[in-house]
Structure 1
Amino acid sequence: MVTFENQLIGASLRRVLQRLHYPLEVILTCVRWYAAYPLSLRNLEEMMAERGVLVDHATVHRWVLKILPVLAKVFRRRKRPVGKSWRMDETYILVNGQWKYLYRAVDRLGQTVDFLLTARRDKAAALRFFKQAVGLHEMPEKITIDKSGANTAAVNALIDERSANIELRQSKYLNNLVEQDHRAIKRRVRPMLGFKSFHSATKIIAGIETMHMIKKGQLDCPDGGLTSAAEQLFSLAF
């Protein structure tokens, strides 16, 4: 069902694309490659030149910042449901020479529940992550975390606020699943050598996480057909 909000998102993407004076296929290919693979902007400039397309790396960067956040919003509307048992953890992201914190959770099958980049690592940040994830997927039955006091306090606060019946587990062994899943994100972020601003980091990480979820088959395709990651990303633009 097409909602008014979905129409607004679609209109926003169309306005962005209309202002970019390159073929849509070229733009989306560059954006997808940048989000999916450990490539630099100059790598993409060279790769497109080999294909007869002259585009400056700075232009590709502008495409990334404009398009990835919109595609990520569209994806969230078409994201498949996840399981009721979550594994949550945070990892470090370098932004303007300082470490920031990327909160992430997966279900017991390794499907991404949600993610959130924050400036601080404390109860308030963890609680904000959980509320965002619950808003997207409803309340889980189990949440597994490490021994972090802040994360423990956040889960207990969520239980109290929502009068929820959630089983809280603290297990390093069970949380290996989400820690292993961090690697795919860190593998893509590492060649970037850190982000220049928190604003751009938020936008680019949203795109990286979106491509990671597409690769894991988390996009709800209307026709039920199995399509490639490229076709699935392109479908978000239409």
Structure 2
Amino acid sequence: MAELADGSGTKVGPRRRVVDPGRHGPAEIIAHAVWLYHRFPLSYREVEELLLARGITVSHETIRQWCTHFGPQYTAGLRRRRPQAADKWHLDEVFIKINGVRHYLWRAVDQYGDVLDILVQSKRDAKAAKRFLAKLMKKQRRVPRVLVTDKLRSYGVAHRELTRSVEHRSHKGLNNRAENSNQPTRQRERAMKYFRSRRAAQKFLAAFSQISPHFRPRRHLMAASEYRAEMTARFTTWEQVTGIAGLPAAA
């Protein structure tokens, strides 16, 4: 099959229109690769194979660079378009292995399960809890109405020092919302054969926690027609965020 090279190491079939936003490669191919990697439990090599099946030749290393460079940009765009979070925040922490060493992934979600923020830290003491809560409030630019946590005492210290006026509900059974949001992370952690560094884990999980849920509406609460309409709207938002909305269609 005849192929057309775009000068960035990417080859596409002759029927595809190439739109090159710069030295990085075709915008629509970059957006599709980043979507595949963050939406499904795939490796870079598996994304490479899926693109090859569509007549697109690109190395797994290029895909890694695209995800590293563009993932945070797309994440920021999705966050800007997201409605303001609800005022009831659930905080939780789970351990993750980074280069064989135990670390902790701190996560905050609202009462609807939307991820507010994540932070990878080496401890789960009071200092770590205060650091995460301060970062969360700075990003949200407000304090919650209710703070829900498990029985970890570090949350009590952070609450007393940073959000004394906020209602704090500390009970393991009340925090299933935050605990359930960790399941997709566990799936990716296994697919990636765990993480190699704290910086890499933070960077990936920050993007993953926004991109993956964007394409996971609460399907069990929707009729089929409502789900299709919601997904269409979300893909439209994705096209706007990634800069491919309005680009010429493939010939």
TM-score grouping bracket, smaller chain normalisation: 0.7 to 0.9
Can you list the C-alpha shifts for 1:120-160, whole angstroms capped at 9, x where unaligned?
A: 2222222122122212331111111111111221121112x
Q: Indicate the structure with greater helix content.
A: 1
Asked whether 1:51 is paired with 2:54, we answer yes
Whole-Å Cα distance in 2 between the matches of residues 28 and 56 of structure 1? 15
| Helix, strand or coil at the partner of 1:39 | coil
Can you list the C-alpha shifts for 1:158-217, whole angstroms capped at 9, x where unaligned?
A: 12xxxx521111111110111111112222232001122222222211121111341356
Asked whether 1:117 is paired with 2:117, we answer no
Partner of 2:92: 89
CA pair 192-198 structure 1, distance change in 2 beyond 3 A:
same
Whole-Å Cα distance in 2 between the matches of residues 57 and 185 of structure 1? 22
CA pair 114-216 structure 1, distance change in 2 beyond 3 A:
farther
Whole-Å Cα distance in 2 between the matches of residues 27 and 34 of structure 1? 11
| Helix, strand or coil at the partner of 1:154 | helix
Partner of 1:181: 181
Question: How far 1:54 sits from its partner (Å)?
Answer: 0.8
Whole-Å Cα distance in 1 between the matches of residues 87 and 180 of structure 2? 19
Q: Which one-letter code corresponds to 1:26 in the other structure?
A: I
Identify the range of structure 1 (197-206 vs 228-237) with the bigger mean alpha-carbon deviation: 228-237
Whole-Å Cα distance in 1 between the matches of residues 107 and 98 of structure 2? 17
Question: How far 1:235 sits from its partner (Å)?
Answer: 1.7
Partner of 1:203: 203
Identify the range of structure 1 (34-43 vs 225-234) with the bigger mean alpha-carbon deviation: 225-234
Whole-Å Cα distance in 1 between the matches of residues 118 and 71 of structure 2? 15
Asked whether 1:194 is paired with 2:199, we answer no
Whole-Å Cα distance in 2 between the matches of residues 29 and 51 of structure 1? 12
Partner of 2:162: 158
| Helix, strand or coil at the partner of 1:175 | helix
Question: How far 1:99 sits from its partner (Å)?
Answer: 2.1
Partner of 1:146: 150
Question: How far 1:237 sits from its partner (Å)?
Answer: 2.4
Partner of 1:237: 242
Whole-Å Cα distance in 2 between the matches of residues 71 and 130 of structure 1? 24
| Helix, strand or coil at the partner of 1:53 | coil
Q: Which one-letter code corresponds to 1:184 in the other structure?
A: P
| Helix, strand or coil at the partner of 1:128 | helix
Q: Which one-letter code corresponds to 1:38 in the other structure?
A: P
Whole-Å Cα distance in 2 between the matches of residues 34 and 189 of structure 1? 13
Partner of 2:80: 77
Partner of 1:98: 101
Q: Which one-letter code corresponds to 1:215 in the other structure?
A: F
The RMSD of aligned alpha carbons is: 2.0
Segments of 5+ residues of structure 2 without an aligned counterpart are 1-20, 218-228, 244-251
Q: Under a length normalisation based on structure 1, what TM-score does the superposition of the two structures give?
A: 0.81
Task: Give the number of the structure whose alpha-carbon radius of gyration is greater.
Answer: 2
Q: % of aligned pairs identical?
A: 30
Whole-Å Cα distance in 1 between the matches of residues 127 and 81 of structure 2? 28
Can you list the C-alpha shifts for 1:86-117, whole angstroms capped at 9, x where unaligned?
A: 11101122222222211111222222222222
| Helix, strand or coil at the partner of 2:120 | strand
Question: How far 1:228 sits from its partner (Å)?
Answer: 4.7
Partner of 2:70: 67
| Helix, strand or coil at the partner of 1:92 | strand
Whole-Å Cα distance in 2 between the matches of residues 124 and 71 of structure 1? 31
Whole-Å Cα distance in 2 between the matches of residues 234 and 195 of structure 1? 29
| Helix, strand or coil at the partner of 2:66 | helix
